[in-house]
Amino acid sequence: AYFALQVIYARRKYKISPPETTGHPEFERIFRAQERGEPQPHQDSASLSPAGVATVCGLLYLYTRFKYFQGYAVAAQGRLGPLYASARLLWLLLGLAVAGLLAHFLLPHSSAWVAGLAQPLQLLAA
């Protein structure tokens, strides 16, 4: 919603009516930043599971997308740092997902193993 509002404000500021997508260079940068960040929320919601490290990485990813938008709105080169950071976080999230799947399918699922994992969670819940 924040990104869409920024496009609306830029349209008003530079008097660019929809469906136009060209005009003042600052408007074009803001519009492109919003457009390129559009498909991300679907991926973000999956990364915000209650999995500790994955949650922190997901929140950091959302923050880097926010910084990407801000950087791109100012200058096209301003998007590069956050873009690389968000890509690294996506790779980390992918690695965590693969590690979780491997642990689930390859590690023994004895009752002692499950009890060992459940004990810290029970302590946190208490």
The per-residue pLDDT string of the chain (126 residues; one tens digit each, 9 = 90 and over) reads 788 888 889 999 999 988 888 999 998 888 888 887 665 555 555 555 556 777 888 889 989 989 998 888 888 888 889 989 999 999 988 888 888 888 878 876 655 555 665 666 666 665
- Closest by alpha carbon to 3, among 66, 89, 74? 66
Domain membership flag for residue 7: yes
Domain membership flag for residue 24: yes
The overall pTM is greater than 0.95? no
Instruction: State how many domains the chain has.
Output: 1
Domain membership flag for residue 25: yes
Residues whose CB falls within 8 Å of the CB of residue 96, separated by 6 or more in sequence, listed in order? 51, 53, 54, 57
Catalytic sites, residue numbers: 12, 79
Domain membership flag for residue 75: no
Domain membership flag for residue 16: yes
Domain that holds residue 8: 1-37
CA distance 108 to 19: 57
Domain membership flag for residue 118: no
Domain membership flag for residue 32: yes
